Structure formats: structure tokens, C-alpha cells
Amino acid sequence: MKYLIVVPDGAADEKMEELGGKTPLEVVEIDHMNAFAREGTVGLVRTIPPGVEPGSDAANLSILGYDPRIYLTGRSALEAASIGVQMRENDIAYRANLVTLAGEGAYEDLIIEDHSAGDVSTEEADELIEAVNLAFSDERIRFYTGVSYRHCMILSEGSAAHTLTPPHDALGKRAGDWLPTGADGAMIEALMKKSYPLLKEHPVNRERVKKGLRPANSLWIWGHGKRVELPSFYEKYGLTGAVISAVDLIKGIGIRAGLERIDVPGATGTLGTNYEGKASAAVKAFASGKDFVFIHIESPDECSHQGDLAGKMESLKRIDQRVVKPVTAYLKSGGTPFKFLCLPDHQTPISIRTHTAAPVPFVLFDSGKKAPFDAERRFSEASGEAGMFFDSGVALADYFFDRSTV
């Protein structure tokens, strides 16, 4: 048996007036996902446990069978593993976004315009993080370049007893209302404020402004956590596997779980990511003997954070045509039985441009146990409400990997 999970990040949404009271998944042309729904099982799953922040860290751990209430210490510790940072026991990792702040006056009065600084390139970001290190790193603090706007700060001998806000939760709002609080809050706030004049005048940002692009003019620090160890995925499910994603968070989860990390050139996490490259990498992984492949595609979530409905729907069509179609065609052609699971990690409604903890729809297809054909069944929130319900992502993972009695 081969196992394939495809995660269109943030694809789930709420009903929208401009779509006639339907969600993007209900109206977009995703023929291949819907074909699997007609012959498979659909339902809803709660990927975010009660009381846990609705982030991609908790949701993707859950989908892979790891209870975030046990294993989640903070997303950046997982991202640090992907970047190659060797964290010590007393280190605290932080996500350091490069963001766009707009307006004039004091830092507190600036508006959080873009959590991704216009999807700043990794090459540009590397120059900016180098400048940040030259200005601020010392025996306790060090910054590491990640991908695009997503970077890492390591603080040695720090405390995790503070409250930090993801910038995508405060888009369009005054920065001063969302600054850090708690143990190291004043120090982190000072770093963020000092980064603004440094980055605003950096040649990379001057050039971006000339081109009409949003500048990456401030650090925004959040997502803190200590080093985490996950039980081996192979020991848990008896399967070899690989993860394919543009983002360090997903790669870090894979590394900690003992799965192979596959890097795809041109995988950016944006609408223009290399869909075909991810599909090709998945096929090669299966051909090399892997039992399981996890493909994560960030683009629907990024479009949701930007309030870009057209982009979100286009990303879903591209995932359907350029990822789901070729990988499942390969699995069908080989004659080996396979199971396919497709689900968002969480809901990211366009209306609020951030995540919620609402249950998300899934489609599950087993080539050896096809469900009775239903022409009306599709991969959507509405179809999911009429199907199976799993109270946790862990329960769905156990069911999918044949470790459940459900």
C-alpha cells in the first residue's frame, strides 16, 4: 500500500456573498479532487485541539498523527530544525518575519500592512538578515535566514513566558497594539523597533520601493518555542516517508519525525510556486520505494492572508491539475493499491485574513475499497458536513494509516 497526503494550506473558508453564498472549494474547478470525493469518503476533521492556537504548526502535527497538545512547543523550534540550527536545551527559537509597516511617526503608530513584505525573495532577505545580524547579534542572539519572509532568531538562556502575536493576525492594525509582553517582551520589542530604521534605509528596500514593491522594513518576532523531539514516524506507523514543502515549518516536522526532507527548486510558498516540481519529487519518492509522501502547498493560505480570492481559487486549480492529477495518475498506473487523503491544515477565511480553529473538510480515497459512487459528493465544506467526522487530526491519521478501529 502507498499513502499520499496533499495539504492545500488554508484552503477551507467561509461562505462568501461574492460566490453566491458558497465557499471557494464549493465553486472552484477541482475536477480531480472531486472525482476522488465521488468514489471515496468525505467528512470534517478538527485539526486544532480546543485551547490550541489555530496555526499551521499544530494543524500539520495533528495531520501527521502527533498530538500538538503534547508535542508543540512553538513553531520556530521546528523551523530551526529545517534551517539546520542546532538548538541547545536552554535556547528559545523565534520566527522573525520580515514585514511591511506603513505610515509615519512612532513605531507604535505604524500599520502592519503585509506579514510577508510583498513575498520578498530569499536572496533579498538574506542580505537583510545579514544586516540584522551585524547590528544586533551577540553572545545570546543570532538570526538565521529561512525562506522568503520567514526567518529564525535564537535566544540563549531565554524565557518562553511571554505573549507574541503573529503578524498575519494583526493585518491592517496599529503595531503598538500588538507588541510583545512578558519576560523578554521589552527586549524583543526593542529589537523590532531598532530594526525599522535599519531595514527601511537598506539598499534592498530602496530598490524595492523604486520598483513599486512593498519594502521588508521591519522584523516582527513571534512563534517562540524550545527544542522538540517527535517519536519516529516509522516506529509509529511502520512506514517510510518523505515531506515536500516550501516552508521550513513542514520540513522541520518531517526532520523531527525521521521522514526524508525533499527540497524542490522554485518552491516558494506563493501562487507562483513550482507545482510540477513538487509532483515530480513525489513520484520519484514513491518510485524509490517510499511508502508515504506528504505534499504541502502554502499558496492558498498566502492568498487568503492577502485577501486575494482570485489567487486562492487559482492556486486550488493549480494544485488539482499540477499536483493531484500527475501524482495520483502515477499511483494508478503502477497497479499498487494506494490511499489518498486531501485536506487543508486549517481554515483561513478571506474575510478575516487569518486562521480559525473550525473543522476542515477532507476527502479520503482507498483504491481497494471504493465507496458507493455519489455524483453530488465533492471536496468541500458542505459535503464534509454530511460525511464522517473526526474529533482530531490524530484520529484521522490513525484511520488513514490503518491503525484505527473506526
* The three cell numbers locating residue 139: 553572545
Torsional class of 33: left (φ above 0), alpha (ψ -120 to 50), beta (otherwise):
alpha
Q: What pLDDT, on a 0 to 100 scale, did the predictor assign at position 405?
A: 54
Checking if the pLDDT of 68 tops 90, the result is yes
Dihedral sign, Cα of residue 326, residue 329, residue 335, residue 337: positive
Structural domains of the chain, ranges and CATH numbers in brackets: 2-72+229-400 (3.40.720.10), 85-225 (no CATH)
Dihedral sign, Cα of residue 58, residue 62, residue 68, residue 71: negative
SS3 content of the chain, % helix, strand, coil (to 5): 40, 20, 40
**pLDDT tens sequence across 179-192:** 999 888 999 999 99
User: How would residue 74 be classed by pLDDT, with cut points 50, 70 and 90?
Assistant: confident
Checking if the pLDDT of 371 tops 90, the result is no
Torsional class of 271: left (φ above 0), alpha (ψ -120 to 50), beta (otherwise):
alpha
List C-alpha distances in Å: 228 to 231, 292, 297, 352, 394. 10, 23, 24, 31, 18
**pLDDT tens sequence across 8-21:** 999 999 999 999 99
Closest CA to 144 of 104, 86, 100: 86
pTM of the shown model: 0.89
**pLDDT tens sequence across 250-284:** 999 999 999 999 999 999 999 999 999 999 999 99
**pLDDT tens sequence across 382-397:** 999 999 999 999 999 9
Strands, E assignment, 291-390: 292-297, 338-342, 360-366, 388-390
> What is the spatial distance between Cα 156 and Cα 140, in angstroms, rounded to a whole number?
5
